[in-house]
Amino acid sequence: MKKVSIIVPFFNEARGVKKFLDGQLTPELELLNNKYKFEIVLVNDGSTDGTLMVIKGAEINRSENVKIISFVRNFGKEMALAAGIKYATGDAIIMIDADGQHPVEAIPKMLEKWENGARIVTTVRRRNKTKHKLGSALFYKIMRLLGNKNIVAGAMDFRLIDRMVADEYNRFTEHHRITRGLIDWLGYPQEYMLVDLKGRMYGSGTYDFRKLIALAGDSFISMSRTPLIIFGYVGVFIMVVSLLVGTFVLIEQYLMGDPMNLDWGAVAVMCVFISFLIGLVMVSQAVMASYIARVHIEKKNRPLYVIDKKETRGINV
């Protein structure tokens, strides 16, 4: 019987986590007990509202297949997911939030896609009614402009990954990580599922606007080097335009005697020259940024390659 690990990170969810675990997750998994052996990995991300005690008192905690990982303080959801993936031992791993927004009824379909060969099954929200709708749309738009063409708008952390994907993910050593971005970076083919988000069972999300901005910043820096060199392209544009204007001024004003009566003054000529220098400085910074990008990539120490499978004399290894 195949083993499936369910990772549930939580932070200050004392009012709703028991209802989610015992009232939503457990009944859904019980329907699949004849097909799979389940392991529940609960990651307490430094909760301060008694969430850990609530979990220990939940019915689900009576199962011998429950692991509880508790941080000494709040390290953030990305670190909680990283810890869950590291300690999960299932053939497949499913990540799901504890606030009740992710529909647990989608789990059987995710497992079905996995059984049919999908290494990664990613859920995509069908409708986004959250207050961060505009910010989310802007985030995905910018990520595409920065070179991440394959990123899917609305893709969520509620996803399934195969054991092989988890093992490769565990090779990452970088600290500022975006789980969904790193899983996408590995390059395994993905299948997508449209789902409808539910409302939170209690309270409001702990990811406020400030944290979302920080997450977006980490995503831009971690998953793309374009921000380092984008001003270089701007500098080249400024240099070309100022060079063309300067050449025109030189010919029209000084070589032809100003036949168009444009009367270029010393200030205008100086502005063109200064613009050219500004462009030159920006290009120089882009060259320096290219070196910084190399250091940035080496410092992250990502795997040099990701192997799908190995074959020796026709035998899979």
Structure confidence by residue, pLDDT tens digits, 8-22: 999 998 888 888 999
Q: Identify the pLDDT of residue 203.
A: 60
Residues above pLDDT 70, as percent of the chain: 76
Domain match, 48 and 85 both: yes
Q: Is residue 226 over pLDDT 80? A: no
| 310: in domain | no
How large is the average pLDDT for residues 282-293?
80
Q: Indicate the residue among 185, 205, 223 that finishes a domain.
A: 223
Domain match, 173 and 237 both: no
Domain match, 24 and 141 both: yes
Domain match, 233 and 89 both: no
pTM of this prediction? Answer: 0.70
How large is the average pLDDT for residues 279-307?
72
Name beta bridge partners: 190.
120
Domain match, 209 and 280 both: no
Residue 181: phi, psi to the nearest 5? -70, -40
Top pLDDT among 299 and 120 is at 120
Domain match, 138 and 248 both: no
How far apart are the C-alpha atoms of 11 and 31, rounded to whole Å?
Answer: 28
How large is the average pLDDT for residues 244-254?
83
Q: Is residue 27 over pLDDT 80? A: yes
Quote the tokens at residue 171.
């090779």
Q: Identify the pLDDT of residue 155.
A: 82
Q: Identify the pLDDT of residue 142.
A: 62
Q: Identify the pLDDT of residue 133.
A: 58
The three-state secondary structure class of 98 is: coil
| 311: in domain | no
Q: Identify the pLDDT of residue 57.
A: 84
Total domains, the chain: 2
Q: Is residue 173 over pLDDT 90? A: no
Q: Identify the pLDDT of residue 317.
A: 46
Domain match, 270 and 130 both: no
Quote the tokens at residue 196.
């409808």
Q: Is residue 231 over pLDDT 90? A: no
Which among 5, 29, 201, 158 is positioned nearest to 90, based on CA atoms? 5
**Token pair 């499978």 is at which residue?**
309
How large is the average pLDDT for residues 136-142?
62
Q: Identify the pLDDT of residue 296.
A: 63
How large is the average pLDDT for residues 135-152?
62
| 309: in domain | no
Q: Identify the pLDDT of residue 90.
A: 95
Domain match, 187 and 93 both: yes
The three-state secondary structure class of 127 is: coil
Domain match, 164 and 113 both: yes
Of 42-46, 159-163, 240-244, 271-275, the range with the highest mean pLDDT is 159-163
Q: Is residue 316 over pLDDT 60? A: no
| 99: in domain | yes
| 169: in domain | yes
Mean pLDDT score of the chain: 81
**Token pair 């984008």 is at which residue?**
230
| 287: in domain | yes
DSSP alpha helices (H): ranges in the chain? 17-18, 26-30, 51-56, 77-87, 107-115, 133-145, 163-169, 179-186, 209-223, 226-249, 266-300
**Token pair 């390290």 is at which residue?**
75
Domain match, 273 and 154 both: no
Q: Indicate the residue among 223, 242, 275 that finishes a domain.
A: 223
| 74: in domain | yes
Classify burial at 44, counting beta carbons within 10 Å of its beta carbon; exposed 0-12, middle 13-18, buried 19 or more.
buried
How large is the average pLDDT for residues 198-216?
62
Domain match, 39 and 95 both: yes
pLDDT tens digits for range 62-104: 777 899 999 989 888 889 999 999 999 999 999 999 988 999 9
Banded model confidence at residue 284, pLDDT cuts 50, 70, 90: confident
How large is the average pLDDT for residues 20-33?
91
How large is the average pLDDT for residues 275-284?
89
Q: Is residue 59 over pLDDT 70? A: yes
CATH number where 174 lies: 3.90.550.10
| 315: in domain | no
Q: What is the DSSP letter of 61?
A: G
How large is the average pLDDT for residues 97-114?
93
Q: Identify the pLDDT of residue 32.
A: 93
Domain that holds residue 276: 226-300
CB neighbours (10 Å) of residue 72?
A: 6
Domain match, 41 and 163 both: yes
Handedness of CA 11, 16, 20, 22 (dihedral sign): positive
